[in-house]
A and B are shown apart, each in its own frame.
Chain A
Amino acid sequence: MSEYTKPLPRPSETSRPFWEAAKRHQLQLQQCGGCKAYIYYPRDRCPQCLSEKLNWKPVCGKGKVYSYTVVRRAATRSFSDKPYVLAIVELDEGPRMTTNIEAAPESIKIGMPVNVWFDDVTPEKTLVKFKPA
């Protein structure tokens, strides 16, 4: 198996629970205990109300493609092996995430429903990606 050369997340104290959940193949987001807003990416305080009471909550893993591109010429060599679909997925809970969609590029449509899937890119790291629902 060839070595994984793409950049990997380096979790902070704040974001560690998100990546640990992904490793267990769970999608968890912070939810504000004050205003109940779901938050992505992980923060120390709620960006809506600045509350410190943030709780990690499992979410359903369903969403829709908000927009996407097919990257045919990548900005770095590590992504140049083949074209890939980069997308912004809007989760049912509200927040948007940058992610990849594992599907034929020509099959992707804005607005299409997608489900989370977990890509164990290395023995230690799992990325949160999506597949058509």
Chain B
Amino acid sequence: MSLRDKAAAIGIAELKPWKEPPPGVTPLKLMFQLTADVLADAGLEKKDLDGLLVGMPFADPGVIYPASLAEVLGINPRMLNIVDIGGASAAGMIWRAAAAIDAGMCNAVLCIVADLNKMGDQKVPVVSVQREFEAPYGNIGANCGYAMIAHRHMYEYGTTPQQMAKIAVDQRKSAMKNPLATFGDKLITIDDVLNSRMIVDPLHLFEIVSPCSGGSAVIVASPEIAKRAKNAPVWLRGAGEYSNHATITYAPSLTDSPIKTAADAAFKMAGVDRKEINLVCPYDCYTITVLVSLEDAGFCKKGQGGPFVMEHDLSYAGDFPCNTHGGQLSFGQPGLGGGMSHVTEGIRQLMGRGEGRQVKNASLAWVNGNGGIMSEQTSLIFERR
């Protein structure tokens, strides 16, 4: 059993994130817009959609969410569900859509995420264990966990603040060519990153995603639909998923993430070598996330992520294009929607629609979704043939 070549992405839609959402905007309104946009992009009609996977917006959670959304959108799905794996939800939708299509449950799946997120107090965790054993000590939100990963990585492997900062610098270079990027108007240097305010040692302001509002959507379709699609179909060639903790304190290791297992599974299913990959889109909530992701996915040896990012140009024009939309660090993190931006960018590049940031001759992309603090991991390999 394999999902290789069983379904393809045939349309994408993405909103330019807002730092402050306009008054009256709700996740649902954004999903209406995205649904109209993604149908137009794919050249499908609403009646063609027969599957629905949606992420529960942090800003507007509800019950029986998929059916409620389907009802307001006026679609009648043969398969509908919430995918609830944090920042990996979007990547997780793609293989679940392919699996449902391969199983004959449906033919064209709308995968959609939109959310509102603003600066301000983080909510005290709702997960009771985190509420009881983390929050009283001030482990609230994601910053502290990633900072402790970064410190431990520095301790175990000698990783430096400069090496981590380089990731934000190179991604910004690509963001300059992305009209949808929130922070795409000014190049930054390693010194700029290291001189930005220290938020949680050793992570600086420019190494941390900035909350914003927005969303994106993808249509995953059967081979039959894909072959007559308007856009060049981007095939799902491999997928893998893995989780080994919910709270980072109780993970087996701070520096070895579940990405290794997820990525190994995806590469095995795809039957491709790391060297064949033309661009990577690893979930980037922090600079350290990218560094650990590249190591654990096998693009460099464990512990060598620091030297690796210094030796390669990670921009769209470089020898190792990484998060060519700017990543969430420069594109913005529209709440739960942020994780879809890596998926849409991988697909966009392979469709040849990267415009000013197009990666030359891109035919294989690795995309990784990451939930919580390195908790849920979903690796995807896409191919344009």
Q: Which residues from chain A sit less than 8 Å from chain B, CB to CB?
A: 6-12, 15, 41, 66-77, 79, 84, 86-88, 96-100, 105, 110-111, 127, 129
Contact = CB atoms under 8 A, between A and B. Distances in A.
B136 A84 contact: no
B128 interface: yes
Contacts of B144: 69, 71, 75, 86
B198 to A, nearest CB: 5
Contact of A72 (B121, B122, B135, B199): B199
A70 B197 CA distance: 13
Contacts, number: 102
Contacts of A110: 151-152, 155
B134 interface: yes
A110 to B, nearest CB: 4
Interface in B225-248: 247-248
A88 B255 CA distance: 13
Contact of A67 (B128, B132, B151): B151
B160 interface: no
Contacts of B271: none
Given A70-B200, A72-B200, A9 B121 contact: no
Given A69-B200, A72-B200, A88-B148, A7 B135 contact: yes
Residue in A6, A87, A88 with the greatest tally of chain B CB atoms within 10 Å? A88
B152 A67 contact: yes
Contacts of B250: 41, 96
A75 B151 contact: no
Nearest to B148: A67
A111 B135 CA distance: 24
Residue in A9, A15, A98 with the greatest tally of chain B CB atoms within 10 Å? A98
Given A98-B249, A110-B151, A12 B200 contact: no
Contact of B136 (A7, A15, A77): A7
Contacts of B135: 7
Contacts of A67: 148-149, 151-152, 155, 254
A113 B155 CA distance: 16
Given A10-B131, A69-B147, A96-B250, A84 B201 contact: no
Contacts of B310: none
A74 B137 CA distance: 11
Contacts of A69: 143-144, 147-148, 151, 200-203
Contacts of B152: 66-67, 110
A12 B129 CA distance: 10
A74 B139 CA distance: 9
Given A10-B132, A66-B254, A99 B137 contact: yes
Given A7-B135, A71-B200, 12 more contacts: A6-B138, A66-B254, A68-B148, A69-B147, A70-B200, A71-B143, A71-B144, A75-B122, A84-B138, A87-B148, A96-B249, A98-B137
- Give the size category of B's interface with A: 35 or more
Nearest to A105: B201
Given A9-B132, A41-B133, A69-B201, A75 B149 contact: no
Interface in B106-128: 121-122, 124, 128
A68 B149 CA distance: 9
Contacts of B140: 7, 74-76, 79
A88 B151 CA distance: 11
A84 B248 CA distance: 19
B141 interface: yes
A68 B137 contact: no
Contacts of B254: 66-67, 88
Contacts of B248: 88
B155 A111 contact: yes
A86 B137 contact: yes
A56 B117 CA distance: 42
Contacts of A77: 121
Interface string B243-268: 00001111000100000000000000
13 contacts: A10-B131, A10-B132, A11-B132, A41-B132, A41-B133, A68-B148, A69-B201, A69-B202, A71-B143, A74-B140, A76-B121, A88-B248, A99-B137
Contacts of A72: 197-201
B164 to A, nearest CB: 14
B257 to A, nearest CB: 14
Contacts of A9: 132-133, 136
B133 to A, nearest CB: 5
A70 B201 contact: yes
Give 6 closest A-B pairs by Cβ, nearest first. Answer: A69-B147, A75-B141, A75-B122, A67-B148, A67-B152, A7-B135
Contacts of B138: 6, 71, 74-75, 79, 84, 86, 100
Contacts of B129: 41
